[in-house]
Structure 1
């Protein structure tokens, strides 16, 4: 077992605190921030980091949803859970089946769709007049699971669907946090069943626990003073970045 030295853990701890706080107030972004910032530092392997992110997500979700489960829009969230889990498995299988060139093309097309949706709603962040039908929620959850299985980022379609609904920010956050917890839980169980959840991941997750608790409580008690419209615009701006995150690596590879 190799645990990073204290000097290396200090910047990692700051990244975890920032990511957990952001995730608590928006309902998404934890994996994006930790994987994006910590993986480049080379503190631990990407595989180890992905497992730690899943466990940290479960910790954050348990604390963030405590006392707030009544905010989760269960009718639509349940539909999304049913669709996202099998789609995630299908995405993994589909990636194995497709050639690398075909997978790259799909990745760019999906990135373009996400960027377009983000630009469209960031420009006019007003929510829809009425709640979408269950079929719409199932569709976006399925798409999110497919993207998650193929490219490791299930968030964008789920964020897009929920943030454009006529729901309160508390409901949107609750729904996204619960969905992220389900996805993280399924991944953790799958990795554990394969015997690939090692002591390094567990020790790092245990080190993160007090950081997660502090950052989650801070997010619950001291959210940023933003209006719902500003928060929606911010969410869709981040969707644009997520879409570009799908497109740019492929373009760089092609060039």
Structure 2
């Protein structure tokens, strides 16, 4: 990999960190999506890096905001997230070895679908959904997190439809992503180890992620959160379409 590739990867991570600090999501989808679209590195490699980077982002952003979390809903969601994350890693290793193009197609569908759903501004529920729904969404999100390194789409869509404040939603998402990343990384480290270069890339990204997270919290952007979301949704749709077209061309 040339010098420009790791620098470009770090820039993409910085952009994803910026969006996630503002909205509570976006890091994994943006980084893995752009990386896969331009073919910088493999999906397993970037998924491992993003998992470790997510821990840093949440570690910096969460400590002062734990009081915003609805622990009853969060714990129920995590009961589904953690075992499904492990299952997703197992599926990732199998699919990547058997059919890289199919894996890329699935990744594009997940990202594009999430972008379209969020752009449509789903109507908010009047009452909080059942605990069973939080567990189910947690399981699906954990599967996506283990498989693609992207736990976001199902749980983001579900939480943003709840009658919860933006602060509660944002910090619950950060917590869920951190737990997904931890369980995924721990299982991968114990069973197969991280792909070559993962720790080096993560160590290079850590100071960038920490600084961007702190600066974004201290100096919020002049754009409204709603505007930033729209930009994120549009980016996700473009990334998803790009991945789908690229994978279909390889399959056909």
Q: TM-score normalized by structure 1?
A: 0.76
**Cα offset for 1:23?**
1.3
Q: Which residue of 1 aligns with 2:164?
A: 167
Structure 2 unmatched runs, 5+:
96-100
Choose the corresponding residue for 1:58, options 55, 58, 71: 55
Q: Distance in 1 between matches of 2:112 and 2:33?
A: 18
Q: Which residue of 2 aligns with 1:189?
A: 186
Q: Which residue of 2 aligns with 1:222?
A: 219
* Most deviating of 38-47 and 200-209: 38-47
The alignment of Structure 1 onto Structure 2 pairs a total of residues equal to 251
Q: Which residue of 1 aligns with 2:74?
A: 77
Q: Distance in 1 between matches of 2:3 and 2:110?
A: 42
Q: Which residue of 1 aligns with 2:44?
A: 47
SS at match of 2:220: coil
Structure 1 unmatched runs, 5+:
99-103
Measured at CA, do residues 248 and 168 of structure 1 come closer, stay the same or move farther in structure 2, by a change above 3 Å?
farther
SS at match of 1:67: helix
Asked if 1:208 corresponds to 2:205, the answer is yes
Q: Distance in 1 between matches of 2:185 and 2:232?
A: 27
Measured at CA, do residues 205 and 220 of structure 1 come closer, stay the same or move farther in structure 2, by a change above 3 Å?
same
**Cα offset for 1:116?**
7.0
Measured at CA, do residues 48 and 147 of structure 1 come closer, stay the same or move farther in structure 2, by a change above 3 Å?
closer
Q: TM-score normalized by structure 2?
A: 0.77
SS at match of 2:197: helix
Q: Distance in 2 between matches of 1:33 and 1:248?
A: 17
Asked which structure has the greater CA Rg, the reply is 1
Measured at CA, do residues 218 and 187 of structure 1 come closer, stay the same or move farther in structure 2, by a change above 3 Å?
same
Q: Distance in 2 between matches of 1:129 and 1:46?
A: 39
Choose the corresponding residue for 2:135, options 125, 134, 138: 138
**Cα offset for 1:154?**
2.5
Q: Distance in 1 between matches of 2:246 and 2:3?
A: 32
Q: Distance in 2 between matches of 1:198 and 1:112?
A: 25
Alignment RMSD, CA only?
Answer: 4.0
